[in-house]
Every structure is written in C-alpha cells, then in structure tokens.
Chain A
C-alpha cells in the first residue's frame, strides 16, 4: 500500500504563469516517456520478478515515479492556474483548454492521450530491465529537451531535479541487471526467461 505525505518530493514554487511551457512539460505527465508511464511500468513489472531485491527496487523506483508525477502535475498547475482568456488564446493553450479547462490531464505535448501501450510488462526480468533502462534514458532526453526551451529558474530548478533522478534510476537498474545476471549461466544470458524457465545457475 501507499501512504501520502503532504509535500512534493522537491519544492515547486512557480511565480509566473507560462502556458507555452506548460504545454511542453505536460508531456512528462502523460506523454510516451512521462512519469505515469514510468510508475505504471515498474509497479506492474514487479510482480513477476523472482529476486526480491530487484522486485523491491522496482517497487521503490515506481513509488518515486508517483511522486514525480505529482511534481510534474504541480508544475503544469502552477503554470496555468491564473491564465486569462487572452493569454490562453495567445499561447495556443486554447486547444487544450476547450476540453480540459485548467485541469491537469495525462497527455503528450502533441495532444496524444496517455496509453498503456507506451510501456511493457513482459514477465521476463531481463527483457523488462532493458526496457526500464531505456525508459530512464528516454525520460532524461525529454527533460534535456524541455531544459533547452525553458529559462524561468522557478521551472528549470525542479526539472533539473527530475532529470538527475532519471540518471540515478538508470544506474540502479543497471546494477539490478548485473545482480540478476550474476545468478545466471553467463554463457546463456538471453536465451530464456529467468521467471519461468528452470534456473541455470553456473
């Protein structure tokens, strides 16, 4: 289960509305490499990992991703909460506004709704960990792209925090993959599913 704490993982105090920035950043809420996909990926994959250390790592990182989802939602909310109709029209936010008003809804920057087809839960630990490492890199790239287009330090600060976490998670998943492979036949890492096929410890 989870328990809520009344705080964001990293403080977010944005003073100025910026609907253009919000339309870009919302991709990390519900886009292809966003935080909802990240948390659902790890929290779904965890069930079939046999090694409790790696299963637990997936649970811990998936939990942190939920906190990141809240952070990105908070950024989008604080960037849009006081927009005037003129600002909405001028910034191009009108196409989002007509369907969602100032609500925060999981979509990519291009308007594509969040979908579970953006991640896998394959039931094969090696397959899943490679996807997880790629996912962290894709999210890091997205944050890099956001940072190239944003200059308000109130936004840049928490985005840089989130970017750095992708790198740490990539590192931990890499270590988890190594822990997993250390218990397999090193001549045959990729030819079977360690969750289902008989263990081939060497």
Chain B
C-alpha cells in the first residue's frame, strides 16, 4: 500500500510550495518507491476512513494509468500495474461495503437488511470523525 505514495507526491499534504519538478513527478511511475506518509487522511484510527483512503489511492492509480494506457495501449508494464491495482481496489471496496456501507451503485452488500445507499455522510459533507481532532 505504501507504494501508492508516489502518485500523491506532487500534492502531498503539508508541502505547500509549488513544486517546479511537478512535470516529471506526475507521470506514472511503474516502479513506485516506498516513502512518505498517508495523504489527505485523518490521523485518527478510524478504520473506515483508512479503508476509504486506500480505495481512493487504488482508484486514482487506475484513473491515471487508464489515461496512460489510452495513449500507450501496448505497454504491458502499465497493463499489469492496472490489473494489480484493480484487484486491490476490488478487495478494499468489498471490505468497506461489508462493514461501513455502499461505495458503488451496482452492489448491495448482504451485511445490512435495509437500503444503505443514501445513509450516512455523503462525500461532499464534512466528515464527522470520531476522533477529537476534527
């Protein structure tokens, strides 16, 4: 999971100055290094938030690689990376949906007897986290 940090490198929380080397660092790297901390996430131990953070990371890796593959359809390395992220994303979404509620519109988990699609906070709302920080 740490290797996703490369994708967030140019806009990691806390590094406020504009980075002149951004042009290079936003290109998809197929060999991401392991460094840095989680970005954009609450520092509390809320496991729903942490899992959603991972879903965001895997999904973004796929969003970025999808566009790369659109113009580099023969890049086997990128294709393998896309499939790897796809598996991780699916597992994370299933785990989230089984414990905390729906993420995708075409899957209703067996974990609840009621309609949960519009239950709880919506993505644009300020999250009421259980930690004291927020």
Contacts and interface: CB of A to CB of B under 8 A. Distances in A.
Contacts of B42: 13
Contacts of B63: 9, 64
A160 B7 CA distance: 13
Contacts of B14: 153
Contacts of B40: 10-13, 157-158
B79 to A, nearest CB: 15
Nearest to B10: A164
A169 B11 contact: no
B87 interface: no
Count chain B CB atoms within 10 A of each CB in A70, A151, A158, A172 and give the residue with the most: A172
A99 interface: no
Interface in B64-93: 64, 66-68, 70-73
Contacts of B45: none
B11 A70 contact: no
Contacts, number: 110
Contacts of A53: 70-71, 73
A4 to B, nearest CB: 5
A60 B122 contact: no
B68 to A, nearest CB: 8
Instruction: Kindly name the residue among A73, A144, A167 whose own CB sees the greatest number of chain B CB atoms within 10 A.
Output: A167
A4 B67 CA distance: 19
A73 B70 CA distance: 28
A12 B123 CA distance: 9
Contact of A74 (B22, B56, B124): B124
B54 to A, nearest CB: 11
Interface of B: 8, 10-14, 16, 18, 22-23, 26-27, 39-42, 52-53, 55-56, 59-60, 63-64, 66-68, 70-73, 101-106, 117, 122-124, 126-127, 134
Closest 10 CB pairs of A and B: A160-B11, A11-B40, A175-B71, A74-B124, A57-B70, A161-B11, A3-B105, A157-B13, A164-B26, A8-B123
28 contacts: A6-B103, A6-B104, A7-B59, A7-B103, A7-B123, A8-B123, A9-B60, A11-B52, A11-B53, A12-B124, A13-B40, A53-B73, A60-B70, A64-B67, A74-B123, A77-B124, A144-B18, A147-B18, A153-B13, A157-B11, A158-B40, A163-B11, A164-B22, A167-B23, A168-B27, A171-B27, A172-B67, A179-B71
